[in-house]
Amino acid sequence: MSPRATSRLEPAKTNPEFIRNFCIIAHIDHGKSTLADRMLQLTGVVDDRSMRAQYLDRMDIERERGITIKSQAVRMPWQVDNQVYALNMIDTPGHVDFTYEVSRSLAACEGAVLLVDAAQGIEAQTLANLYLALENDLEIIPVLNKIDLPAAQPEKYAEELANLIGGNPEDCLRVSGKTGIGVDALLDKIVARIPKPVGDPNAPARAMIFDSVYDSYRGVVTYVRMIDGSLAPREKIQMMSTRAVHELLEIGVSSPEPEPTKGLGVGEVGYLITGVKDVRQSKVGDTVTTLNKPATEALKGYSDPKPMVFSGIYPIDGSDYPNLREALDKLKLSDAALVYEPETSVALGFGFRCGFLGLLHLEIITERLEREFGLDLIATAPSVVYEVTTENGEQITVTNPSEYPTGKIKKVLEPMVKATLLAPKDYVGTIMELCQQRRGTMIDMTYFGTDRVQLRYSLPLAEIVFDFFDQLKSKTAGYASLDYEDDGHAEGDLVKVDLLLQGEQVDAFSAIVHKDKAYAYGVMITGKLRELIPRQNFEVPIQAAIGARIIARESIRALRKDVLAKCYGGDISRKRKLLEKQKEGKKRMKMVGRVEVPQEAFIAALSTGEEKKGEKKAK
């Protein structure tokens, strides 16, 4: 066992020979953050007293949900055979919504720890990230975590890992992030196996931005990996994509608290502060160079994040609209992937059409808006982007069902995804059935070991944004895992279903669905609303329609009685207060024509199921 390092290598002067840059690839819940905690403790960068669980996960949501949204980098000293090394651990987001950020984090490393729960085996998300790591030519160190669990089956899963990446099952390290067993051996192995960074110290500076975080005190903090050359404080730096020039106010490393340094050299990982206030000026994937001696060629791999899922976000209390705008403006500072524009809905009033990387991203943003800014929000059912071509050749991009053209339509293209599903083989039938229902086409099926199967499907994104993941989990007792990637567009037989309340269209409930599912959607939404809208003093028909054709109909019977029988003993105050309460209640109603619809009805009808949210939180 290696001792704690007796000294630390000074940043900016570190020989790349003694630098190791690595990340940890793991599925949610497989213990990445706990393992990171142990490494921080073992290397002594965080003393036992200030240690807290999931040290690196800064946002409340991250810690509560046990997932990492924004990646971080930590520099840790480690000594092997009397030589001190600097290990840079780059924490990557684990979720598929953040694939782009993952790929940038991977590009900043030479190696990856592939962390797998010894009681659960490899999951689809891990496979997806493993694939990305191999694409980036990273050295992979397979590690089984949670070996202290009674249910751990390290032999079985070591075999599985060996089959997957080659090598012997014995090469697979066994650790417990919880107890710390094997963590020192892992650090030793990182030093031994992961290649040193290679770069030209004399070339013009090139640093790749792998994360960009907004800090309300210090502005944007940009995390970089130096590829070539070096950067020093007070230097003028330039972003290669925008050519924007900033002064380097501070440069340093995280250990894990920020420590200003005299600069960063080849192979080092650290942060930059320039005083900019908007992460859009410091985009993930961009290359940083200096103004005096600029590089000519940017590093590869930069692309703008593209929103995949859209949802209308409205304040429940209309007077919160300016606050919502302000909150989104603030979140945008730290989340380059969030896009939004004002939108109005007849039913919901003023709000914003927001674009997200995926469903988790949507959920995280709405939750942050509610939690960090104290807003009560309604999010409309998520939808995807359709490319519609009308009969007369007009091309329309539809991010909101209300933009769907009314005339004749020649063709509709919908976004597709390639989904990777991993589950015990007993669930193959169930999964195939579910994918079939969701208009999926199977690409292939692969067995891992004796009892686990990987299914790959081509699926319309629209089919998975709603409740696919919940269905998958409930139909497979939670065993199946899902990962998906963008797979272009395909033509779909789609129609727009409108909802009419007493003949008036309610935009918030319009949806673009496959022709074969229009009827089921119509029946579902009319039925749901019949339960949710209170009786009015006239009959209210609820209809679902495709164009002028009614496909489903329900009706709310007229309310016949709304009167208090008597006022006992002259207690008029009581009666008047009851009336005032009723009037208060009326204020919370949204009027659709003459129909009073309680706000709650919109929320309940639009939510894809409250239990879903609870379930995810419970994990």
Q: What distances in angstroms separate CA 449 from CA 70, 424, 474, 565, one per listed residue?
A: 34, 10, 24, 73
Task: For another protein, give the closer residue by CB, 151 or 572.
Answer: 572
Binding segment toward another protein, per CB under 8 A, in 93-101, 288-296, 300-308, 580-588: 580-588
CA-to-CA distance for 304 and 515, rounded, in angstroms? 33
The three-state secondary structure class of 600 is: helix
**Using CB under 8 A, which of the segments 20-28, 141-149, 240-248, 574-582 binds another protein?**
574-582
Nearby residues of 59 by Cβ (< 8 Å), 6 or more positions away: 69, 70, 368
Among 586, 588, 617, 619, which residue sits at the site for another protein (rule: CB under 8 A)? 586
Choice between 192 and 558, CB closer to another protein: 558
Stretch that binds another protein, among 147-155, 184-192, 332-340, 573-581 (CB under 8 A): 573-581
Return the amino acid letter for 32. K
Beta bridge partners of 225: 208, 269
Q: Which of 433, 564, 588, 609 binds another protein (CB under 8 A)?
A: 564
Of 414, 358, 388, 349, nearest in space to 589 by CA:
349
The yes or no reply on residue 300 touching another protein (CB under 8 A) is: no
Strands 504-505, 377-379: pairing kind: unpaired
- Smallest distance, another protein to C-beta of residue 563, A: 4
Piece of the chain touching another protein by CB under 8 A; list 261-269, 297-305, 332-340, 556-564: 556-564
591 touches another protein by CB under 8 A: no
Contacts of 430 (CB under 8 A, 6+ apart): 475, 476
CB nearer another protein, residue 202 or residue 573: 573
Considering the rule CB under 8 A, would residue 1 count as an interface residue with another protein? no
Whose Cβ is closer to another protein: residue 247's or residue 571's?
Answer: 571
Measured distance CA(199)–CA(185) in Å, rounded = 28
Per rule CB under 8 A, is residue 617 in the interface with another protein? no
Nearest C-alpha neighbor of 78 from the set 112, 43, 48, 103: 43
Residue 583 as a binder of another protein (CB under 8 A): the answer is yes
DSSP letter at 264 equals: B
The correct pick among 493, 571, 610, 611 for binding another protein (CB under 8 A) is: 571
CA–CA distance, 306 with 489 (Å, rounded to integer): 14
Among the listed ranges 307-315, 329-337, 421-429, 553-561, the one in contact with another protein (CB under 8 A) is: 553-561
Asked if residues 437 and 517 have their Cβ atoms less than 8 Å apart, the reply is no
Q: Between residue 508 and residue 547, which ones bind another protein under the rule CB under 8 A?
A: 537-538
Distance (Å, whole) CA 498 – CA 526: 11
Counting contacts by CB under 8 A, is residue 234 touching another protein?
Answer: no
10 Å Cβ neighbour count for 375?
A: 21
Residue 104 corresponds to which tokens in the numbers above?
A: 């940038």
569 near another protein (CB under 8 A):
yes
Nearest CB to another protein, comparing residues 17 and 580:
580
Question: Given candidates 410, 411, 574, 588, which one binds another protein under the rule CB under 8 A?
Answer: 574
Q: With binding defined as CB under 8 A, does residue 578 bind another protein? A: yes
**Rounded distance, CA 98 to CA 66, Å?**
15
In whole angstroms, how close is the CB of 577 to another protein at the nearest point? 5
What residues make contact with another protein under the rule CB under 8 A? Answer: 537-538, 557, 559-579, 582-583, 586
